[in-house]
Amino acid sequence: MTTFSPFNETLWHATAIPAPAMTPLEGEVSTDVCIVGGGYTGMTTAIELRRRGVEVTLLEAQEAGFGGSGRNAGHCTPTFVLASLDGLRQALGRERGDRLIARQTKGADMAAEFIRDYQIDCEWKQNGFFQGALMPSTMEALEQKAESYAAAGCPSSLIDAAEAERLTGSTRFYGGWLLKSGGHLNPLSYSRGLARACIQEGVRLYTESRMIDAVREGAKWRLKTAEGSVLCDKFVMATGAYTDGGGMQVEKTYKIWRPLLAATNPLPADVRKQVVPFDGTMHDGRGDIFVYKYNREGRLVVSMFPRGKRGHDMPFTRQMLLDRLRWLHPQVPEHTVWDYYWMGELDMQKTTIPRLYALGPGAVACTGLSGRGVPTGTMLGGILADWAQDVPETELALPVEKLSKAPPYMAIGPQLMLHWYAIKDNLAAKRQGVELPPHP
């Protein structure tokens, strides 16, 4: 059984809105669709189905938002991590690729609608996503990205160095890409708000109800927990990296990778006017990414991936994060400290788009949100609701694939990729006479 990172050490656990009252499943329940997993994907699927008049039961092993949905960095960036839009169309076919692109690029707007419709207090701000260019050569790649997202109907543009400095307060950038639809929030508050929305819509939501087995009984499924069971026509496993048994082998389809996250003490008001004054999400633009944004208290919340000593040597990690932040923004005080530090789990696989896996007649699993959990988990609810309502597979925005094991190289692939990105960026910076960030 996988041991997950501590949940109660996160900034979000300390600052989120209260969870609605929920109880474990006891006894037998019958339903049209049972969803396993109380994160964004599971809860938006439940809400979508209830809006369509489908009877839904949701089982969560811990509490709503316990997994990646409650401990991520809180940025809502409606893009794809590595795949280009044209590459997606080639991989999925033009029609399916366009359907997925339309859903993913509207993921932040969908989150905004859930927040508005259900009055979720989750620190939501939709001020945009900025990806910077720390060397001149990066501008060409960002220009292509800006043009491709604009062609897909997104508020996407390339900006010059002067505008980048105005938005970010940093003089390090030669320019960058601005996607105005990006947002950020308190991810656990959003999760708990979605849980309230589920209950409001009539979803039977049970917490502390880990699915321990799923068996066929005639044309139906029986999902068993420690104290009860759910008899259903169809079921969806939406547990992602937090899959905890259940006998369906979903955890074999990915390898877990643990990002690191940290939050500063609240920065003074005069500093916040100089550092990321546009109050959006920042990406420094290196392949070995450094992403950051504010929370409601004025803390900068940053995220990176472990590499070498980073993530293992805590004093070094904290100093490295501060050095990187102050290199970009020397206005940040030297005495800034990291009040919170935590880690989470990602279900990494060889592609960086969500995957739907057939588990048997009327059963499907969804994994692979790949660091874009807020918009991706939000938009997946519509796709999985379509599947549950028998929309033909050819008309879904994602194919339903045969369950397959993650290739062995995925155990070390992400680390090797990070090292390669760092080497590539460092060599390019030296060729162009650009200063390297600390601890490159």
CATH of the domain at 339: 3.30.9.10
Mean pLDDT of successive 10-residue stretches along the chain, which has 440 residues: 89 98 97 98 98 98 97 96 93 96 97 98 98 97 97 98 98 98 98 98 98 97 98 97 90 92 98 98 96 98 95 96 98 98 90 92 91 92 98 97 90 89 95 96
Q: Are residues 276 and 419 in the same domain?
A: yes
Look up the domain containing 390 and give its range. Answer: 11-73+187-249+349-406
Q: Are residues 235 and 272 in the same domain?
A: no
At residue 428, the pLDDT reads 96
Q: Are residues 418 and 298 in the same domain?
A: yes
Q: Are residues 269 and 173 in the same domain?
A: yes
In a domain, 44, yes or no: yes
At residue 158, the pLDDT reads 98
In a domain, 212, yes or no: yes
Q: Are residues 240 and 301 in the same domain?
A: no
Q: Are residues 335 and 355 in the same domain?
A: no
Q: Are residues 323 and 244 in the same domain?
A: no
Q: Are residues 162 and 211 in the same domain?
A: no
At residue 392, the pLDDT reads 97
Q: Are residues 68 and 21 in the same domain?
A: yes
Q: Are residues 334 and 360 in the same domain?
A: no
- Split into its structural domains, the chain has a count of 2
Q: Are residues 192 and 229 in the same domain?
A: yes
HEC letters along the chain: CCCCCCCCCCHHHHHCCCCCCCECCCEEEEEEEEEECCCHHHHHHHHHHHHCCCCEEEECCCCCCCCHHHHCCCEECCCCCCCCHHHHHHHHCHHHHHHHHHHHHCHHHHHHHHHHHCCCCCCCECCCEEEECCCCCHHHHHHHHHHHHHHCCCCEEEEEHHHHHHHHCCCCCCEEEEECCCEECCHHHHHHHHHHHHHHHCCEEECCCCCCEEEEECCEEEEECCCEEEEEEEEEECCHHHCCCCCCCHHHHCEEECCEEEEECCCCHHHHCCCCCCCCEEECCCCCCCEEEECCCCCEEEEECCECCECCCHHHHHHHHHHHHHHHCCCCCCCCCEEEEEECCEEECCCCCCEEEEEECCEEEEECCCCCHHHHHHHHHHHHHHHHCCCCHHHCCCCEEECCCCCHHHHCHHHHHHHHHHHHHHHHHHHCCCCCCCCC
In a domain, 193, yes or no: yes
At residue 349, the pLDDT reads 82
At residue 338, the pLDDT reads 98
pTM, two decimal places: 0.97
CATH of the domain at 359: 3.50.50.60
In a domain, 155, yes or no: yes
Q: Are residues 150 and 176 in the same domain?
A: yes
